[in-house]
Structure 1
Amino acid sequence: MNAEAHKNNQLCGEIYYPGNRIGVLLVHSLSGTPHRLEFLAKALVRANFTVLAPCLSGHGTDPANLMKTHYSHWLEEVKESITRLKAICEKVYIVGDSLGGGLGMVASLSKPVAGIVTMSTPVFFRRHIIWNMVFKTAGKVMEYYVKKDSSYKSYQKVPVRIIKEAYDFTNHDLREAISKINAPMMVVQGKKDRIVHPRSAQYIFNNIATDKKELIWVNEGEHSLTTGSGKEKVFEEIINFINRQAKNTNGKAH
């Protein structure tokens, strides 16, 4: 096992904290792990929610294992996690980070939930990301895209094929799903995101079917809104949104 695989292998377990009858499903990003969302998870636990954050297939181990997966596997795992929470909670909410938000939105069409929060969820990528991550560099196709940041508790490199699949999911499955979303939604986006174009958030907000929707801009926010300096404000917005929706609805999530 190489050094990165050993490091990531320590992060592959799911996060689960029992709490009240309001369940929150956290869905991590492409190349991320549940533990990248641990600060958010602990904030939700302090608010007495039941929290589940599964580790999606191919993540938290070795980047090569992503080559054995497909976004359809992650989608099924999100659906299974919704079912798990519904068995013990009266209401279930999804909070998805980046691609995790898109997976949560699509999964909710067949597994309805009481509300959805997306953070930095892509519809439109920055142009340089499309070129550098998916297509060509120096005249040849890359096998892996190597990140330039510290990639807190996530892979340092990602197979380009998987990035291309995530791009296809965003362009097809997610775009088709957006106009069908009837669950209350909060869309959270950092204005300084260098990966996802901020107009993604406006597009999602404008095109979802529900009229119970909120758009939150984080002025200093970059792509990761759960680890940056402004994360506490983001967590507060999420908790307040869930509490408002839970108060305004009665009975079990559909």
Structure 2
Amino acid sequence: MPLLPGAEPYRHEGNEVGVLLCHGFTGSPQSMRPWGQYLAAQGLTVSVPLLPGHGTRWEDMQLTGWQDWYAEVDRKLTALTDRCERVFVCGLSMGGALALRLAAKHGEAVSGIAVVNPANKMHGIAVNALPVARHLIRTTKGVAGDIVKPGVKEVGYDRVPLHAADSLRRFLRLLDGELPQVTQPLLLMHSTVDHVVPPTDSARILGRVSSTDVREVLLEQSYHVATLDHDADRIFEESFAFFARLAPSVGKEGTATGG
């Protein structure tokens, strides 16, 4: 099945500091590529994978679940840790949840976490009906494209497969119990107005993790897909400063190898 234009994974071979960026539910690497390209321009090694079932058509996503999405980012993290001295994990929305689980499971192999509007739970009165509804209704309306900035579009599905949505519900519930295992430095950036993931999710995550080095940044000019919105430059700059503080070799002249 051909990929949607812009949904291709992105990879850049840079220095010994690696960054894994995870896109969101029904989205694609297109929402993370500008962030990845910014970090690549600073000399870092960058990996932005395409999650299974994403970037083609919603029918393909119907055949996947959270175990498939997590397995892919876990595999890419292992590849980065084999290649780099320090590795950071980042994510948007569900991608933020995936990044947090990577940190919980991999411990010291992950040097820090930077997430944007991370998801913590499914919201809405219909959520509890998902286990049954997914057998009766195949899809519901999409969640992609919550962006303030005029003329900017997110490459993602216009329908949400209920089978996948129920899998996400179960994953977020699992992750909530694992959040106390997250001890790494955490940069959490979230929009004050978000029509997909409410700010209460970020508050819950901040209250559950065991990290002591925590920075919270409010994004006041963006909606959910803030990596493509008015606050994108701030996200990129805040994350790079975060990585540079934790990995002193970042940004030093002569550390980049190009690629």
TM-score by length of 1: 0.86
Output the CA distance in 2 between the equivalents of 1:18 and 1:129.
Answer: 44
Kept in 1, the 8 Å contact 2:26–2:144? The answer is no
Q: Which sits farther off after the overlay, 173-182 or 122-131?
A: 122-131
CA deviations on 1:12-58 (whole Å, 9 max, x unpaired) are 43210111111000011011111221111111112211100111111
Q: CA deviation at 1:64?
A: 0.5
Distance in 2 separating the partners of 1:192 and 1:12: 26
Q: Distance in 2 between matches of 1:232 and 1:60?
A: 25
3-state SS, counterpart of residue 227 of structure 2: coil
Secondary structure at the aligned position of 1:127 is classed as coil
Aligned to 2:72: 77
Task: Report how far residue 141 of structure 1 moved.
Answer: 5.3
Q: CA deviation at 1:213?
A: 1.1
2:134 maps to 1:156: no
Shift in CA distance, 26/149, structure 1 to aligned 2, threshold 3 Å? closer
Per-residue CA deviation, residues 209-232 of structure 1 (Å, 9 max, x unaligned), is 120111111122211111111211
Please state how far the C-alpha of 1:135 moved relative to its aligned partner: 8.7
Q: Where do 5+ consecutive residues of structure 2 fail to align?
A: 146-152, 251-259
Please tell me the root mean square deviation across aligned C-alpha atoms, in Å.
2.5
Q: Which moved more, 1:182-191 or 1:239-248?
A: 239-248
Aligned length: 240
Counterpart of 1:194 in structure 2 is 195
Residue 86 of structure 1: aligned partner: 81
1:26-65 paired onto structure 2 within 5 Å: 26-65=21-60
CA distance in 2, matches of 1:180, 1:68: 30
Residue from 9, 13, 37 that aligns with 1:14 = 9
Question: Does structure 1 conserve the Cα–Cα contact (< 8 Å) formed by 2:9 and 2:49?
Answer: yes
> Would the alpha carbon gap of residues 228 and 141 (structure 1) be closer, same or farther in structure 2, given more than 3 Å must change?
farther
Q: Which residue of 1 aligns with 2:112?
A: 115
Instruction: Supply the distance in 2 between the matched residues of 1:129 and 1:224 (Cα, whole angstroms).
Output: 23
* Contact 2:144-2:157 at 8 Å conserved across structures: no
- Give SS of 2:62's match: helix
Q: What is aligned with 1:252?
A: none
C-alpha distance in structure 2 between counterparts of 1:116 and 1:28, whole Å: 14
* Map of 1:204 onto structure 2: 205
Q: TM-score normalised to the size of structure 2? A: 0.84
C-alpha contact (below 8 Å) 2:89/2:113 kept by paired residues: yes
Cα 1:109/1:230, change in 2 over 3 Å: closer
Q: Which runs of 5+ in 1 are unaligned?
A: 250-254
Hey, what's the Cα distance between the residues in 2 that align with 1:53 and 1:141?
A: 34
Q: Distance in 2 between matches of 1:84 and 1:44?
A: 18
Match of 1:214 in 2: 215
Amino acid at match of 2:63: K
Amino acid at match of 2:40: V
Q: Is the 8 A contact 1:124 1:199 kept in 2?
A: no
**Any idea what SS the aligned residue of 2:77 has?**
helix
In the alignment, the residues of structure 2 paired with residue 16 and residue 104 of structure 1 have an alpha-carbon distance, to the nearest angstrom, of 17
Supply the AA of the counterpart residue of 1:204: I
C-alpha change, 1:204 and 1:152, in structure 2 (3 Å) is same
**What amino acid is aligned across from residue 163 of structure 2 in structure 1?**
R
- Mapped partners of 1:15, 1:248: distance in 2: 23
Rounded to whole Å, the distance in 1 between the matches of 2:214 and 2:23 is 22
Does the 8 Å CA contact 1:79/1:111 hold for their aligned counterparts? no
Q: Distance in 2 between matches of 1:82 and 1:228?
A: 27
Superposed CA deviations along residues 137-188 of structure 1, whole A, max 9, x for unmatched, are 9xx95321222764611112120121121122112x2101111101111111
Between the aligned partners of 1:74 and 1:126, the Cα distance in structure 2 is 21
